[in-house]
Every structure is written in structure tokens, then in C-alpha cells.
Structure 1
Amino acid sequence: MTMQPATLADWLTLLETMHPKAIDMGLERVGQVRDRLGIRFDCPVIIVGGTNGKGSTCAMLEAILLQAGYRVGLYTSPHLIDFNERARINGEPASDDMLTQQFAAVEAQRGGVSLTYFEFTTLAILRLFAQSGLDAVILEVGLGGRLDAVNVIDADVAVVTSVDIDHTEYLGDTREKIGFEKAGIFRAGRTAICGDPVPPQSLLDHAQAIGADLWLFGRDFNYSGDKQQWSYGGRGQRRNSLGYPALRGANQLLNASAALAALEALRHRLPVGAQEVRTGLAVVDLPGRFQVLPGRPTVVLDVAHNPHAAATLAQNLDNMGFHPYTYAVFGAMQDKDIDGVIEKLKDRIDHWCLADLPLPRAASADYLKQKLLDAGIVPQTGAGAERSIETFASPATAFANARSRAGENDRIAVFGSFLTVAGVMEAKRSDRAG
């Protein structure tokens, strides 16, 4: 490359076109460039993979460690609105300047190695963290585990939150195949935590084959609780009288337990007190994960885009109390199990506002409408219709329509792809700015 891009936006535009494939699984190319860049960590590294619950678990780990006064780097993907969200240092997104400096360094060292957008940006953020004098680094796996770019780093503790069916074209179409891919982040002689109450045999076998120190939910760590508070029990540590995490939803105690197991495994290197755990869980924040916005009608944002996550969303909606009508703003990628998502939620939704999304691999709103009809949802027409299906050119226009029709006691659930939730968040942000 002769001329380097000047801005973060220019860099990201360039990176989208640099590699012939958007997703190109494998660690050889990333590993080569990692070695040239000399990326290594002197502090503990926690890598978190899993089908669902990764983001929540990472957010809880970050919040607790920050409360304990540690300098923390957190890498997550994808972002909702700004790319900078992917790299957080001490709870703050990295600046454009910090990122563009690292992009230039990766470009200078990659030689002739072709990298995808995800691989290039992952290496840049890893190098940023390695140079930032951190006490702890938390890395969220992008896709799978074994062949994901994040897995070029050997984690001190690896967490698999859950194993379910998603990304079948890359990871396989059974829990056993997917479990093997997720278990690829485990390392010999190091702590491997599985928060899934029913782990696939392939994950157990792989952990044993490589000699990882496997912690299983229900055997090595667990939780108990009532409506007021809960307790964590691990191999050698108990944490009692904990408040519920600020993240709402059915699986958050499983995620919180896995996070506390990771901290227990690191307790000699990163000691954390009881009050710091309590405060961290109380203040943790994760946009777009069963996020209930203030005001009326009630608006729920949730990036549920596979059947496992949709089942959790359905359970969370049931726990919210009565709303006369529920509107859905829904957009999804074509390669997702759309039928499975609809099946879990169709009995909870009265009015569907379906959105086109700005990506070639997105399912069109018309395609989603046909899926709803195939699932036996029969819309009514005319004023006072109790069930409806409408299509829109964007999440923002779909949301505007839902807002205009919903009564103040109704609710609007925005779910599906990250792009669906991001489109509505951006629309709300520009409303406030206006």
C-alpha cells in the first residue's frame, strides 16, 4: 500500500475490500503477522467463547475487575454503532487515533500476508492492548473458537458460555461439532470453564485429550438463590449474598457464575473482594442485550438472532408482566435459522414490522414475511386489526411505524441481527440530537 488512509473510517472501508473472503477460517496467516508484530501479554488473559452469553460474561468480568482497580482491556465484536466499541481500555472505547496507529503498524508488518477485516482489526487491537500496560485482558471470540483469529493468543483462562446451533456453514450442524470448535480455545494445563449445564461430549473429550483443567457447571461451580439474592460456589471460594446482575434476563446467573469461576481461577494473580464483585454486578451495562429503554411504550432491544437466544428472549418477555399488544421490529441475516427464531417468538408477538438490512447477506423483509406466513401467522386487515405483518426499507422506518401504532401500555421488541438493533439505536440517538 503506497498511501495510508488518513481516518478510521477510511481504514475500515479499505479493510473491507483487502481480502477476497469476508470470513476465512484458519490461524496460520494471523499467527505469522502476530509473530512479526511481537504481540505478547504479561498479564492474565481471559478468552470467552460460546453461542450465546459471551458478551454478557465479558461485560461482567470487565465491570468487576474495574471495580477492583485493575487496568482492563476488553475486545468484543461486532459493534453496535461505532467500531471503537470493539476495543475498550478501562471501560472507555479506544480513540480513532489509537486505532489508526495500530492499523498502520499491522499494515507495515504484514508483508504479503492477506488478512480479512476481522483478522486485521483483531491484530491491531491485540497490539494496542499489549502496549497499554494492562493488568487483565478479556477477549471475546468472534466465531467458533478453534479457528477464530482471537485464538492466536493462549488464554490463561478460557470460558465457553453455551453451545447451541449457529453459524452452521462454518462450525457444523450439530452441538457435538460446534462443541469441538468452541473447545479449541482451551489450553493444556490451563483453566477451561464450561458454563453450559449440558456440555457436548466433544468438548469434554477435547479438554481431556489436551490436558486442560476443566471446570464444569454443576460439578466444579454453581449458583443458588432466591428472589432477593444469590450465591456462587466454586472449587475453593464461596461468594454469598450477591445482588442480581444489572443485565436482565434468564441466563444471566449462568453467565455470572462462569465469570466468577474465571476470577476464582485467577484469584492469586487478580484478587477481587466481595464488595467489588457486588458493585461490578450492580453497574454492568451491555447495550442491546435485553435492554429495556425508559419511557412508554416499553421498548426492548435484544440481539437475539438464533433459536437459543430467541427462547431466552421469549422467557424474558413473559417475565415482564402484561402488555395489551407487542410489536416486533425484526430483521435478520439470510443464513440464520429464521424459522427457529419465529417458532420461539410467534406466540408473543401481535404486530410484526419487518425490516430490510443494509447488507447483501441479509434476508429481505418480504422473505421474512413469507417465513411468518409459512409459520401459520395469519395477519388481519383494516382498522383495529389484532395481528399484522408489514414490511419496511430499514429498521428505523419499521420502528417509527411501530411507535406510531403502539399504545402507551404496549411494548415494542426490537430483535434479530445486530444491524436491526443498531438501526433503531441510531434512529433514537438522532431523535435525541434533533
Structure 2
Amino acid sequence: MNSTVSAPSATAGLDAWLCYLEALHPTEIDLGLSRVQQVKERLNIDPGKAQVLTVAGTNGKGSTVRYLESILRAAGYRTGAYISPHIYRYEERVRLHGALASADDFVRAFAAIEQARGDISLTYFEFGTLAAFWLLQRSELDVWILEVGLGGRLDAVNCLAADVAMVTSVGIDHIGFLGSDRNGIAAEKAGVFRAGKGAVIGEPDFPKQVLSELQTKGIEPQCVGHQFNYQQTSADHWTFTGRRSQLQALPMPQLPLPNAATALMALELLNLPVTEQAIREGLVKAAEPGRLQYVAGNPDYLLDVAHNPHAAAFLVEHLRNRFGSRPIYAVLGMLKDKDIAGTLEQLKPAVSAWYLADLEGPRGASAKELASALGEVTNQQPPLSYPCVTDAFRSACDAARESQQQPLVLVCGSFYTVAKIPNAE
């Protein structure tokens, strides 16, 4: 614990509390459940009669949470959702009955946790996770929907046992914490599963070794391609086949289709009835800022937080399916601890012009570093480089307006990159 910082007062603003949280623990990431478990017990955190859905995975967590929330709300249930990270402001991390928690809500939660933790040091994420639980518990909810921050087994969210847990995908990311092979990463993410509880795997190539290990623990996951399936049947429709349901001509959602199927399988396992009408309504309404977010204008642009090769490959497939042969002008900013070269290699076939930007902060990669990585994977003309994302975005938009080919401006590479766009023009 950093003893040189003092806790804000209970009447201090949210910004003061967030600064305090950032300085409180010696490291930003410190995986383990012992600290958060102790404080959870001191706070008497308990979902009670509410059912808990937990979503883990390399990519697709946020959109899966949004699908679950949207469908359950359409079915008339009282929902609370916890996600991370936020894009524009911290309040995005908790939604209660579909609305963002307020800054004052978070301040009250932080003050309660500060009082309860005593001399137990908490990371920024652990403090925020407990605050989310504190707020959810006081909101008279039917369902808690929780997004894992990193991994699963040792993530703070996993101090609550889920009634139904999901692993959306398994890719190589956070290798410093989860390892560099898919078996190890899949095992960490599968740590959210509990024997006798619902388990769903939306990763079509989930490691067989880990599946075998789960079965020895009494966990029988529902796997895509086996216990449930989905298929896009036209530009506007798709089908879902689960253990108990077969849904035809479902409306194509805005968010990734694989995650919609994972959500529907989880809802089959949940002990709450959901009508087909609620499913259809929820699919249509589900949208998440910064995830395949299309903005029509002059020019049109697409925001997506894809920041690893797995997510980039899915993004390229989406671009081809939705935008065909339109030129893509890519505005890119990334963190230096990501697989930059691997991500760019996936994006390369779809991109016509690159607008690379420095990303501020100690973890941010420079445009020069991005250009160096790009040079290893492409034979295109040298990319353009900019000192900030907003400058890169403006330049790409100007070039797109001058073109006769109606280019689409794509902004991707990081949550931090997408967060810069609303004030760009």
C-alpha cells in the first residue's frame, strides 16, 4: 500500500477518487482473489436472489454483455451490468436498469469500500469492481451481468460464482499475465466456470486439453459447433439452434454475430424465461460504443476497439461483408505492449491508406513504432504519421472527402484511440 496518499472525503468528486485509486496500489495489475475476497466479505456483498452472468474471453466480452442486457431488459427483467474499460467516462462501467450509474453513486461506493478495506491494498480495477458490486446490490436487480477484466481465474470479478459463465473467444493477448500459448490462456479464462453451473464456450477452436480438464472437474460446457450452432442465412437474417430452441430468421444485429449466439445459449441455461419476441427486440436494440460503431456522414466512419490479431481478423471480415470494395482509410493508434505487427498483418489486406498516430501515456506506442511494424508486413506506400489521433482522423477525413471512391474512415487499435474521436471535429 502507498501510505503517502490520503483518501478523499466522502464529499469529494469522482475525479479526486479516481486519482486516489490510481495511486493506492504499487502495481496497476496484481492478479489474485484474496484481497478482493476479504473486502467483499467485509462489505457483505451478496447477489441474493439475483442471478449472476459472467463473461470472459479475449474479445467479444463487451458486446456479449450488451446482448444479454438488451434481451433481458426487453423481457422485462431488472438488470445491472459491469464492464471495463470505459471509453469516454468512468460512469460507463456500471449500468443500472439500463442507465449509467452517476458520479455521486460511485463516490458513495468508493467511500464505503475505503472504510471497509482497512489496511488491505486494492488495485484500481479491484476497487472499481467492488464498487460495481456495491451498486448492483443496492439496485433490486434480477440479473447481474459481469465482464471479466483480464483472464478469468484470478480476475477480481471471479470472486463471485456465476450461475452461468461464458468464454467468448481465446486469442493471444496479455501474454505477460496469461502466458503465450492458447492452452494456458484458455485454462485461465475457463477459471470462471463452476461445477454444477452453466458454462458456455463461444470459441469454435477451444483447446481440447482444457475441455478434458473441465470435464474432470464436473464442468460440462455448451460449445459452439456442438451443443449450439448459428448460421447467417442472408444479409439481414440468421438462425440459432440451441439445446431447447431453434430460432429462424432472426434480425442481423449491429454487434458481432458470434457473440449474439453465445448470449442466446447462456440465456437458455439461465433460470429465467425469455420469449422469442424479447430476443428479437433485444438483438435489434443491442449497440455498444466503439464496437463496430458506424457513423454516417461526410465521410462515413467506423469505430472499433480492435487491438489484437484475433479482433483485427474479425474486423476485416466485417469490413468485407458490410462495405465490400470501398477503400478503407485506417486511423490507427496502439499500446506498445500489444502485438502490433500481428494486428497490422491482419488489417493490411483491407486497408488502402494508413494514418498512424502517437498514443499518449507511458504505454502508448508512437506513430514511428507503428510505421516500423507496418514496414515488416506491407509493401504499400509509406504511411502518414501524426502526433495525435485527432490530427490523424482529421487528415483521413479530409482525404476521404476529396476522393471520388467514397472511402470509409476506420478508427481502431485501442480503446484510447476510439475515445479521442468525439472531439475530433
TM-score tier (shorter): over 0.9
Matched position secondary structure for 2:24 = coil
Structure 2 counterpart of 1:382? none
Which of 260, 264, 271 is the aligned partner of 1:256? 260
Structure 2 counterpart of 1:392? 386
Matched position secondary structure for 1:315 = helix
For residue 375 of structure 1, report the CA deviation from its aligned partner: 2.3
Say if 2:37 is the partner of 1:31.
yes
For residue 323 of structure 1, report the CA deviation from its aligned partner: 5.5
For residue 347 of structure 1, report the CA deviation from its aligned partner: 2.4
Is the CA contact (8 Å cut-off) linking 1:183 and 1:206 kept in structure 2?
no
Structure 2 counterpart of 1:302? 304
For residue 45 of structure 1, report the CA deviation from its aligned partner: 0.3
The C-alpha deviation readout for 1:7-43, integer Å capped at 9, x for no partner, is 0111111111110000001111111111111101121
Which of 386, 398, 403 is the aligned partner of 2:397? 403
For residue 2 of structure 1, report the CA deviation from its aligned partner: 5.7
For residue 270 of structure 1, report the CA deviation from its aligned partner: 1.6
Residues 414-433 of structure 1: pairs in structure 2 closer than 5 A: 414-427=411-424, 431=425
For residue 4 of structure 1, report the CA deviation from its aligned partner: 2.1
State the alpha-carbon separation in 2 of the partners of residues 323 and 188 from structure 1: 48
For residue 3 of structure 1, report the CA deviation from its aligned partner: 4.4
Structure 2 counterpart of 1:242? 250
Provide TM-score, normalisation by structure 2.
0.94
Which of 303, 313, 338 is the aligned partner of 1:311? 313
> Residues 276, 419 of structure 1: CA spacing in aligned structure 2 closer, same or farther, 3 A cutoff?
same
Deviates more, 1:287-296 or 1:177-186: 287-296
Letter in 2 for 1:412: V
Deviates more, 1:223-232 or 1:324-333: 223-232
For residue 335 of structure 1, report the CA deviation from its aligned partner: 1.1
State the alpha-carbon separation in 1 of the partners of residues 8 and 122 from structure 2: 18
Say if 2:104 is the partner of 1:97.
yes
Say if 2:343 is the partner of 1:341.
yes
Structure 1 counterpart of 2:9? 4
Deviates more, 1:84-93 or 1:388-397: 388-397
Matched position secondary structure for 1:193 = strand
Residues 206-355 of structure 1: pairs in structure 2 closer than 5 A: 206-227=213-234, 228-247=236-255, 252-266=256-270, 269-322=271-324, 325-355=327-357
The C-alpha deviation readout for 1:272-325, integer Å capped at 9, x for no partner, is 111110000011111111111111322011111110111111111222345564
For residue 203 of structure 1, report the CA deviation from its aligned partner: 3.0
Letter in 2 for 1:14: Y
Is the CA contact (8 Å cut-off) linking 1:177 and 1:202 kept in structure 2?
no
State the alpha-carbon separation in 2 of the partners of residues 124 and 296 from structure 1: 41
Corresponding residue pairs, total: 414
Structure 1 counterpart of 2:360? 358
Letter in 1 for 2:43: L
> Residues 364, 28 of structure 1: CA spacing in aligned structure 2 closer, same or farther, 3 A cutoff?
same
State the alpha-carbon separation in 2 of the partners of residues 378 and 275 from structure 1: 48
Letter in 2 for 1:50: G
Q: Which runs of 5 or more residues in structure 1 are unaligned?
A: 380-387
For residue 183 of structure 1, report the CA deviation from its aligned partner: 0.4
Residues 33-48 of structure 1: pairs in structure 2 closer than 5 A: 33-42=39-48, 43-48=50-55
The C-alpha deviation readout for 1:105-151, integer Å capped at 9, x for no partner, is 00000010100100001001111101111011100000110111100
State the alpha-carbon separation in 2 of the partners of residues 130 and 97 from structure 1: 16
Matched position secondary structure for 1:304 = coil
The C-alpha deviation readout for 1:190-224, integer Å capped at 9, x for no partner, is 11110111111243133213212311112211123
Letter in 1 for 2:44: G
Letter in 1 for 2:132: I
> Residues 130, 324 of structure 1: CA spacing in aligned structure 2 closer, same or farther, 3 A cutoff?
closer
Matched position secondary structure for 2:264 = helix
Structure 1 counterpart of 2:3? none
Identity rate, percent: 47
Is the CA contact (8 Å cut-off) linking 2:348 and 2:378 kept in structure 1?
no
> Residues 33, 242 of structure 1: CA spacing in aligned structure 2 closer, same or farther, 3 A cutoff?
same
Say if 2:370 is the partner of 1:368.
yes
Letter in 2 for 1:196: E
State the alpha-carbon separation in 2 of the partners of residues 21 and 233 from structure 1: 45
For residue 256 of structure 1, report the CA deviation from its aligned partner: 1.1
Deviates more, 1:203-212 or 1:150-159: 203-212
Deviates more, 1:11-20 or 1:406-415: 406-415
For residue 72 of structure 1, report the CA deviation from its aligned partner: 0.4
> Residues 366, 220 of structure 1: CA spacing in aligned structure 2 closer, same or farther, 3 A cutoff?
same
Matched position secondary structure for 1:166 = coil
Matched position secondary structure for 1:314 = helix
Is the CA contact (8 Å cut-off) linking 1:180 and 1:202 kept in structure 2?
no
Letter in 2 for 1:87: V
